Structure 1
Amino acid sequence: MSVCYIIFSPSLNKFYTGITQEPVHIRIEKHNKHQYGAHRFTAKATDWELYLLLEAQSYSHARRMELKIKKMKSAKFIRDLKENLDLQSLLIQQTI
């Protein structure tokens, strides 16, 4: 199963959006342990936690959702996305 996920770091007060086919808890653990390299954005913190998970129909669908969220460049959009199921549905439909 492919998913688009958003994690949040309280110490940085920042979001990170990514995609994966592996279990999300394992992915977050890897981010927190800096297994993607010390030069990556998520290496700036060790307190990443799951904020939002969006299931996708395919890996390419998850990628399109990720790119749309990143294109918005807005923490407000991400917060609205978590609170508004209609907005989540719209995002999923727009990126199929």
Structure 2
Amino acid sequence: MIFIVYILFSESKNKFYVGFTSNLDERLVRHNQKSKGFTGNVNDWQIVYTEHYPTKELAHKRELRIKSWKSRIKIQELINNKE
């Protein structure tokens, strides 16, 4: 099984969301359903970045590292450098 660290972007919120999953398609559908939580009140989340990891632990560690930056600029640089 492969685990995916992903970054989503919402145009209407003008915000990024960082997470990880083993099923990105299913996870994106859940993010775009109206529900509670950070991503729940809009439904225009789009995948703008992904990284693949062989274990859940490595993916979670990377997710936490990206979240710890608390910097929109660093996240945008990561996305731009991948392209």
TM over 0.5: yes
Deviation of 1:51 after TM superposition, in Å, equals 0.8
What is the CA–CA distance in structure 2 between the aligned matches of 1:47 and 1:39, rounded to whole Å? 15
Unaligned runs of 5+ in 2: none
Two-structure CA RMSD over aligned residues (Å): 1.1
| 2:43 alignment partner in structure 1 | 46
Aligned pair count reads 81
Unaligned runs of 5+ in 1: 86-96
Deviation of 1:26 after TM superposition, in Å, equals 1.8
Structure with the largest fraction of helix:
1
Matched, 1:14 2:11: no
Deviations 1:12-65 (A, max 9, x none): 00000001011x12211111014xxx3310012110000100111211100011
Moved over 6 A (4+): none
Overall identity of the aligned pairs, in %: 35
Structure with the largest fraction of strand:
2
| 2:30 alignment partner in structure 1 | 30
